[in-house]
Every structure is written in C-alpha cells, then in structure tokens.
C-alpha cells in the first residue's frame, strides 16, 4: 500500500509539473505580450511646432491690434471737428453786412461744437467802391500760431468811404 501511495504521489507530482510548466510559459508569454503593447509612441506636437504656432498666433494678434488702434485713431479724428477760416467767414459776413464802418475789428468763437477755437477778423477798405478786405484768423486757445487764415472781400454799398487820395492800409 505504501508503494501504491508513492505511485499516486509521483503521478500527481508529474501532473502538477506538467500543469505548472505550461502555466509558467503562459505567464511569460502574457508578460511579453503586455510589454510589447505598453511602449507605444504617444502622438504629440514637437517644441518647434508649438513655437511656430505661437509665433503665427502672436503675429495675427498684433496685426489685429494695429488695425483696431488705427480705426480708433481715425474715429477720434472724426469726432474732433476740423476748423477752417471758412467756417468763421459766414459769421463775419453777417456782421459786416450790417455794419457801415470800413475799419472794424471783431472776434468770436464757434460755440459748443468747437470750444477750443476762436476767430478774429480785421477789415479795411479795399477800394473806394464799397469793397472791404476782411482778414480772418482762426486760433486755438493757448496756441501761439494761427490754425488757419483767410482773406475775403465783402461788398457794402452803404460804406462810408474815405476821401479820394487818403492813405489806405493794405
């Protein structure tokens, strides 16, 4: 019986050895199989590609900012009224139309629309036929130089002219 038992023990040992051997081989092949799947290369951008994309992005951003700044500057320029002496000439003409004095000096401004600007007009007799020369100068408040100058001729039929031969200032 002891012998019989030893035979069964040996048979079971052989089975366990044959059973374990493929298992070990199977484990090794499983590990090898998993190991070959893990080191796959991961898709990503290179540093050069990222830097080129950032450069393109910033160039586009600065181009858009430059266009916005130019548009704002142009809009600001449209808001500020441009002043010329022709705007004052209409007001000066109304004043000289009702005045009979050939040598007159007047001044004024453009109202609330252009608060920073004022005008001055000086007239003198241009000829003895009632024609007056009016010199108009537009100034910016606080500025030393004239913004614009204009000379117009205004006809006044009822102007008191000087005596013929009297010196005239031109």
Of residues 105 and 158, the one with the higher pLDDT is 105
The number of residues in the chain equals 170
Average pLDDT, integer, range 81-95? 77
pLDDT digit string, tens, across residues 34-72: 555 666 678 899 999 999 999 999 999 999 999 999 999
For the record, the structure tokens of 92 come out as 């000066």
Fold of the domain built from segment(s) 85-155: 3.30.1300
Domain segments of the chain as ranges:
2-78, 85-155
How far apart CA 44 and CA 46 sit, in angstroms, is 7
For the chain, how are helix, strand and coil distributed in percent, rounded to 5? 50, 20, 30
Q: For 108-164, what is each residue's pLDDT tens digit?
A: 888 777 778 888 888 888 776 778 888 988 888 777 788 888 888 887 776 665 555
């Amino acid at each position: 019986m002891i012998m019989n038992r030893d035979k069964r023990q040996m048979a079971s040992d052989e089975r366990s050895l044959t059973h374990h051997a493929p298992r070990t081989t199977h484990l090794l092949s499983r590990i090898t199989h998993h190991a070959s799947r893990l080191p796959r290369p991961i898709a990503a951008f290179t540093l050069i590609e990222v830097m080129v994309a950032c450069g393109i992005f910033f160039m586009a951003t600065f181009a858009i900012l430059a266009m916005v700044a130019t548009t704002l500057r142009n809009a600001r320029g449209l808001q500020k009224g441009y002043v010329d002496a022709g705007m004052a000439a209409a007001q000066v003409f109304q004043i000289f139309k009702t005045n009979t004095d050939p040598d007159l000096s007047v001044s004024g401004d453009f109202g609330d629309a252009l608060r920073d600007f004022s005008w001055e007009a000086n007239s003198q007799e241009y000829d003895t036929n009632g024609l007056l020369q009016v010199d108009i100068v537009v100034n910016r408040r606080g500025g030393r130089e004239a913004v614009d100058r204009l000379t117009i001729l205004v006809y006044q039929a009822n102007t008191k002219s000087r005596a013929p031969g009297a010196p005239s200032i031109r």
